[in-house]
Amino acid sequence: MITSRQRKYLRSHANDLRPLLQIGKSGINPNLVKQLDDALEARELVKASVLQSAPDSVEEISRRLSEMTGSELVQVIGNKFVVYRESRDSKTIVLPD
Protein backbone atom coordinates (compact mmCIF):
# COMPACT_ATOMS: atom_id res chain seq x y z
CA MET A 1 0.00 0.00 0.00
CA ILE A 2 1.40 3.40 -0.95
CA THR A 3 1.19 6.39 1.35
CA SER A 4 -0.46 9.70 0.44
CA ARG A 5 3.01 11.24 0.11
CA GLN A 6 4.08 8.49 -2.30
CA ARG A 7 0.82 8.86 -4.26
CA LYS A 8 1.49 12.60 -4.64
CA TYR A 9 5.04 11.84 -5.81
CA LEU A 10 3.73 9.34 -8.39
CA ARG A 11 1.11 11.80 -9.63
CA SER A 12 3.84 14.33 -10.33
CA HIS A 13 5.70 11.73 -12.41
CA ALA A 14 2.52 10.70 -14.22
CA ASN A 15 1.83 14.18 -15.59
CA ASP A 16 4.26 13.75 -18.48
CA LEU A 17 3.28 10.17 -19.33
CA ARG A 18 1.43 9.31 -22.49
CA PRO A 19 -1.24 6.61 -22.29
CA LEU A 20 0.26 3.21 -23.16
CA LEU A 21 -3.08 1.42 -23.38
CA GLN A 22 -6.49 2.29 -24.74
CA ILE A 23 -9.53 0.44 -23.50
CA GLY A 24 -12.39 0.45 -25.98
CA LYS A 25 -15.57 -1.46 -26.74
CA SER A 26 -13.96 -4.82 -25.93
CA GLY A 27 -13.43 -3.67 -22.35
CA ILE A 28 -11.23 -5.79 -20.13
CA ASN A 29 -9.97 -9.00 -21.72
CA PRO A 30 -7.05 -11.35 -21.01
CA ASN A 31 -4.84 -9.71 -23.67
CA LEU A 32 -5.37 -6.25 -22.15
CA VAL A 33 -4.55 -7.54 -18.66
CA LYS A 34 -1.34 -9.13 -20.00
CA GLN A 35 -0.35 -5.92 -21.79
CA LEU A 36 -0.86 -3.89 -18.63
CA ASP A 37 0.99 -6.47 -16.54
CA ASP A 38 3.96 -6.39 -18.95
CA ALA A 39 3.95 -2.58 -19.04
CA LEU A 40 3.93 -2.39 -15.24
CA GLU A 41 6.84 -4.80 -15.01
CA ALA A 42 8.88 -2.69 -17.44
CA ARG A 43 7.87 0.81 -16.29
CA GLU A 44 6.17 0.54 -12.87
CA LEU A 45 3.99 3.62 -13.57
CA VAL A 46 1.49 3.34 -16.43
CA LYS A 47 -1.18 5.67 -17.79
CA ALA A 48 -4.13 4.26 -19.71
CA SER A 49 -7.02 5.83 -21.57
CA VAL A 50 -10.64 4.63 -21.64
CA LEU A 51 -12.52 5.38 -24.84
CA GLN A 52 -16.17 6.42 -24.86
CA SER A 53 -17.06 3.10 -26.49
CA ALA A 54 -15.89 1.16 -23.42
CA PRO A 55 -18.64 -0.87 -21.74
CA ASP A 56 -17.83 0.35 -18.21
CA SER A 57 -16.86 3.62 -16.51
CA VAL A 58 -13.25 4.73 -16.11
CA GLU A 59 -13.55 4.21 -12.35
CA GLU A 60 -14.83 0.64 -12.71
CA ILE A 61 -12.26 -0.33 -15.35
CA SER A 62 -9.34 1.20 -13.42
CA ARG A 63 -10.41 -0.47 -10.17
CA ARG A 64 -10.81 -3.90 -11.78
CA LEU A 65 -7.51 -3.69 -13.68
CA SER A 66 -5.71 -2.58 -10.54
CA GLU A 67 -7.07 -5.62 -8.70
CA MET A 68 -6.25 -7.99 -11.57
CA THR A 69 -2.64 -6.81 -11.90
CA GLY A 70 -1.89 -6.27 -8.22
CA SER A 71 -1.19 -2.60 -8.85
CA GLU A 72 -2.08 0.55 -6.93
CA LEU A 73 -4.51 2.99 -8.50
CA VAL A 74 -2.71 6.34 -8.33
CA GLN A 75 -5.33 8.58 -9.89
CA VAL A 76 -8.27 8.88 -12.26
CA ILE A 77 -8.61 12.06 -14.29
CA GLY A 78 -11.27 12.36 -16.95
CA ASN A 79 -10.98 9.34 -19.23
CA LYS A 80 -7.45 8.44 -18.08
CA PHE A 81 -6.07 6.59 -15.09
CA VAL A 82 -2.63 5.86 -13.68
CA VAL A 83 -1.54 2.67 -11.91
CA TYR A 84 1.70 1.78 -10.13
CA ARG A 85 3.33 -1.50 -9.23
CA GLU A 86 6.88 -1.94 -8.04
CA SER A 87 8.87 -4.06 -10.47
CA ARG A 88 10.15 -7.40 -9.24
CA ASP A 89 13.22 -7.18 -11.50
CA SER A 90 14.41 -3.60 -11.64
CA LYS A 91 13.08 -0.59 -9.80
CA THR A 92 12.80 2.46 -12.04
CA ILE A 93 11.07 4.69 -9.49
CA VAL A 94 12.35 5.21 -5.97
CA LEU A 95 9.46 6.25 -3.74
CA PRO A 96 10.01 8.62 -0.83
CA ASP A 97 9.48 7.18 2.65
Interhelix angle 30-43/58-69, nearest 10 degrees: 70
Above 80 in pLDDT, residue 97? no
CATH class of 4-84: alpha beta
Above 90 in pLDDT, residue 89? no
- What is residue 90's predicted lDDT score, i.e. its pLDDT? 67
d(CA 4, CA 69): 21
Tell me what the pLDDT averaged over the chain comes to. Answer: 93
Express each pLDDT in 19-50 by its tens digit.
999 999 999 999 999 999 999 999 999 999 99
CA angle 16, 21, 24 (to 5 degrees): 130
Q: Where are the alpha helices (DSSP H) in 1-97?
A: 4-14, 30-43, 58-69
Q: What 3-state DSSP class applies to 54?
A: coil
Q: What are the residue boundaries of the structural domains of the chain, listed by start? A: 4-84
d(CA 93, CA 96): 10
- What is residue 81's predicted lDDT score, i.e. its pLDDT? 98
